[in-house]
C-alpha cells in the first residue's frame, strides 16, 4: 500500500539507527557528543520501558526471559542434535535490547581471537584497526568498573555501563578459585587480555552503589536523548531500506531512507546513512527484505534482487553448554532453598526492597574459568583430539569454512586458550525436562553446586532467513552439535568437570557419594561415551547468537567489510552481534559494545575526512 506520509526535507536525518539494542544505544550516545551537528534517529520495534522494577532488579533476569512484555521470544526450528527440541532464544523487546534482560556476567574475548580474525578473515585495510592492539581502548571505554575511581581524564565524560564484583566471596566462590589453584592454574586476569588458563571472578553489569542492573538503554541512550540531536521512535517495524534506482559512480547501492510501519500505517523517512543494529535475527532479515542476500531466499519470497550477497543470514553460531551438578555438604550455602520455598523468596524480596542487598542485588554467575582441555587431559588424549581436528580442517571442502575452522584449530592447539568457558552456579540447574516423565517436579531436594561447560568456538553453523511466507517469523536453525567435533569437544569438557569434582577443593564441599544431576543421568561420568549421551538431553543455549552479517572478506562469505559497510552499498552498515564472524570464547556482549565503539571511531574519521 502507498505510504501514508512522505517526509518533508526537515524530517530527513543524517543517520538512522535501526534498533535500540546494545550497540545502537552506545553508538547514539557517542555520536551525540562527537557529532553534535548531526541529526540521529533511532527506530525501535519494542518500547522504552523506564524505571521497571523487573528490569532494574538483577536477580529477576530469568523472569524477563519468558515474558512477552520484555522478550521477543524467538524459537528455533527443531534441532536434530538436541533430540529435535525447539530452543527458545530470548531477545530484548525494549530499549537497551538484550542487555536489559540478560543475566549480567561480563566476560571478555582474548587478544588471540581478535588478532586471528584480523589476520585471517579481513583485508589488509582492516588488520590494524581490528587487531587486539587496535581494539584495546574499545574494550576499556564502554564500562566503569565499580572498584575504579570515577575520575578519569580519558573517559570521565563518556556514558558508561556500570559493572561490579560480588559483594562477598562465599564458600563456593572461594573453593572455585582454590580448585584451579590445586591444578596449578592460579587465578587468571579478567578483562580483555592475552589468554591464560584458570579461574576468574568476573564482574556483572550491576551498579553496586544502588544494587540495580546497568544496561545500554540507561547507560547510553537516555543521556543521548537529553542532548537534543537524537530522536527515538518506538513501536516501529522497519520493513526495508530504500535505495536509489541509479547506482553510484562506482556501481554501489545508495540508501536514501527507510520504510517502516507504525500502528498499521506505512511511513518513509530519509537519511544520509543507515546503520542496522536490529540484532542477529533482525539485521539479516531486513537486508533480505531490502533485496540484499542469497538469490534463492529472495526469489522464494518474491523480492527483487538488488545485490546478491550469499553470506546474509548464514554463519549463525551460538554457545552451547552442558552442566553437571553435585550435592553439597550440609551447611554449605547455596540458592536452592529459594527455588523451592515461597517464604525464602518473599524474604529475599523484602530485603532487596529495604536495602538493595541480598541475592536479588547480584547477578547469577561471577565464578568462571578459561579451560583448555590440556588442563585435565592426559597428553595422549589431547594429541588424539588435535589429530582429529587437523583431519577435519584439512578435509573441509568449503574454503569459506576452512578459513574459520583454521582459526578455531589454533585455539584448540594452544594450552593457554579456552576450548570451553566454564562457570559455576550456586544452585541446581535442569535442562533435561523433555527426558523425564511428565509432571516431574521442576526441582529436586538437596543443595547443589553446578558446573557448566560452554563450548567456546563451535564448528557447527546455522542460518536465519526470512520465510517465503511474509506472514511468518524468521526461520532460525543453529544445527547444534551437527559437527562431530562439537560433540567430541563438549563431551570431553563434561569429563573435565567430572575430574574437577574429584579435586580436594570440591571434595571438601560435596557429600561423599553425593547425588548428581542431570536427573536423566544421576551418576558420575565414567566414560566419554557417557558424556556424549548426556549432550542431546541436557545441553542448552547460553543465549549468545551471532554471525549472520559477518565482518569478513566477501570471498569468505562476509556481509560487511572492515568499515562495517554492507558489501555492494555505499552507506549501509551493520553493527550488532550479527557482525561477529567467529563467536568469542565467552559472553558476547563485551564484544558487541567494543565493536560499537570501533564503529563510532570509523564513522567519525569518515566525517572528519569528508568535504
Q: What residue numbers does the annotated binding site for FAD cover?
A: 98, 238
Q: Is the peptide bond before 518 cis (omega within 30 degrees of 0)?
A: yes
Give the integer Cα–Cα distance in Å for 204 and 147: 12
Q: Where are the alpha helices (DSSP H) in 275-320?
A: 279-289, 295-300
CB 493 within 8 A of CB 535: no
Residue with cell 575504579: 148
Give the integer Cα–Cα distance in Å for 414 and 411: 5
CB 431 within 8 A of CB 442: no
Per-residue HEC secondary structure of 339-395 comes to HHCHHHHHHHHHHHHHHCCCHHHCCCCCEEEEECHHHCCCHHHHHHHHHHHHHHHHH
**Three-class SS of residue 590?**
helix
Q: Which of 305, 272, 290, 251 is nearest to 549 (CA)?
A: 290
262: which strand partners? 236, 265
Residue with cell 592426559: 378
Q: Pick out the residues of the known binding site.
A: 98, 238
CB 107 within 8 A of CB 366: no
* Grid cell in block for residue 280: 542477529
Give the integer Cα–Cα distance in Å for 288 and 301: 9
Q: Which of 92, 137, 140, 133 is nearest to 115 (CA)?
A: 133
Give the integer Cα–Cα distance in Å for 159 and 482: 42
Give the integer Cα–Cα distance in Å for 471 and 473: 7
449: which strand partners? 326
Q: Which of 56, 31, 36 is nearest to 217 (CA)?
A: 56
47: which strand partners? 94
Q: Name the DSSP letter for residue 190.
A: P
Give the integer Cα–Cα distance in Å for 122 and 539: 33
CB 531 within 8 A of CB 525: yes
Residue 262 C-beta-side C-alpha neighbours within 13 Å:
17
Amino acid at each position: 500500500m502507498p505510504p501514508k506520509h512522505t517526509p518533508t526535507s526537515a524530517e530527513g536525518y543524517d543517520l538512522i539507527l535501526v534498533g535500540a539494542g546494545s550497540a545502537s544505544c552506545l553508538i547514539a550516545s557517542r555520536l551525540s557528543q562527537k557529532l553534535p551537528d548531526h541529526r540521529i534517529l533511532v527506530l525501535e520495534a519494542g518500547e522504552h520501558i523506564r524505571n521497571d522494577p523487573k528490569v532494574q532488579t538483577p536477580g529477576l533476569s530469568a523472569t524477563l526471559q519468558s515474558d512477552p512484555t520484555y522478550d521477543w521470544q524467538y524459537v528455533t526450528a527443531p534441532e536434530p542434535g538436541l533430540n529435535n527440541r525447539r530452543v527458545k532464544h530470548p531477545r530484548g523487546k525494549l530499549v537497551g535490547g538484550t542487555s536489559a534482560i540478560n543475566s549480567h556476567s561480563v566476560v571478555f574475548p582474548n587478544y588471540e581471537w581478535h588478532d586471528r580474525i584480523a589476520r585471517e578473515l579481513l583485508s589488509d585495510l582492516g588488520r590494524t584497526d581490528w587487531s587486539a592492539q587496535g581494539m584495546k581502548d574499545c574494550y576499556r571505554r564502554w564500562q566503569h568498573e565499580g572498584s575504579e575511581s570515577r575520575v578519569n581524564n580519558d573517559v570521565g565524560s563518556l556514558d558508561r555501563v556500570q559493572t561490579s564484583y560480588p559483594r562477598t566471596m562465599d564458600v563456593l566462590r572461594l573453593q572455585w578459585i582454590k580448585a584451579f589453584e590445586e591444578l596449578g592454574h592460579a587465578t587468571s586476569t579478567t578483562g580483555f587480555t592475552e589468554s591464560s588458563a584458570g579461574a576468574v571472578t568476573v564482574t556483572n553489569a550491576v551498579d553496586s552503589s544502588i544494587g540495580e542492573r546497568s544496561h545500554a538503554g540507561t547507560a547510553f541512550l537516555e543521556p543521548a536523548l537529553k542532548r537534543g540531536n537524537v530522536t527515538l521512535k518506538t513501536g516501529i517495524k522497519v520493513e526495508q531500506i530504500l535505495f536509489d534506482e541509479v547506482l553510484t559512480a562506482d556501481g554501489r547501492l545508495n540508501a536514501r531512507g527507510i520504510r517502516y510501519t507504525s500502528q498499521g500505517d506505512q511511513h518513509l523517512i530519509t537519511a544520509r546513512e543507515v546503520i542496522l543494529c536490529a540484532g542477529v535475527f533482525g539485521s539479516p532479515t531486513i537486508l533480505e527484505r531490502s533485496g540484499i542476500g542469497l538469490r534463492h531466499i529472495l526469489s522464494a519470497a518474491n523480492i527483487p534482487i538488488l545485490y546478491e550477497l550469499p553470506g546474509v543470514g548464514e554463519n549463525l553460531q551460538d554457545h552451547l553448554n552442558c552442566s553437571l551438578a553435585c550435592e553439597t555438604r550440609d551447611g554449605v550455602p547455596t540458592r536452592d532453598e529459594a527455588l523451592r520455598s515461597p517464604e525464602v523468596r518473599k524474604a529475599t524480596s523484602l530485603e532487596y526492597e529495604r536495602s538493595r542487598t541480598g541475592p536479588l542485588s547480584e547477578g547469577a554467575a561471577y565464578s568462571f574459568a578459561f579451560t583448555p582441555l590440556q588442563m585435565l587431559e592426559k597428553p595422549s588424549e589431547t594429541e588424539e583430539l588435535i589429530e582429529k581436528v587437523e583431519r577435519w580442517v584439512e578435509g573441509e571442502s568449503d574454503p569459506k569454512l576452512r578459513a574459520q575452522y583454521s582459526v578455531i584449530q589454533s585455539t584448540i592447539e594452544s594450552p593457554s586458550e579456552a576450548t570451553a568457558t566454564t562457570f559455576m552456579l550456586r544452585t541446581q540447574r535442569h535442562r533435561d525436562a523433555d527426558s523425564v516423565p511428565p509432571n516431574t517436579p521442576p526441582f529436586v531436594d538437596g543443595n547443589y553446586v553446578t558446573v557448566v561447560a560452554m563450548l567456546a568456538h563451535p564448528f557447527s553453523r546455522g542460518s536465519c532467513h526470512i520465510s517465503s511466507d511474509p506472514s511468518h517469523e524468521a526461520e532460525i536453525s543453529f544445527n547444534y552439535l551437527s559437527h562431530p567435533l562439537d560433540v567430541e569437544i563438549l563431551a570431553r569438557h563434561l569429563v573435565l568437570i567430572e575430574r574437577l569434582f574429584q579435586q580436594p577443593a570440591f571434595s571438601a564441599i560435596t557429600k561423599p557419594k553425593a547425588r548428581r544431576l542431570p536427573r536423566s543421568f544421576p551418576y558420575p561420568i565414567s566414560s566419554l561415551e557417557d558424556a556424549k549421551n548426556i549432550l542431546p538431553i541436557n545441553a542448552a543455549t547460553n543465549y549468545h547468537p551471532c554471525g549472520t552479517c559477518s565482518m569478513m572478506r566477501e570471498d569468505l562469505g562476509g556481509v560487511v567489510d572492515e568499515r562495517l559497510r554492507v558489501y555492494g552499498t555505499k552507506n549501509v552498515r551493520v553493527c550488532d552481534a550479527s557482525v561477529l564472524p567467529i563467536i568469542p570464547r565467552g559472553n558476547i556482549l563485551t564484544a558487541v559494545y567494543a565493536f560499537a565503539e570501533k564503529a563510532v571511531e570509523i564513522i567519525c574519521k569518515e566525517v572528519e575526512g569528508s568535504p
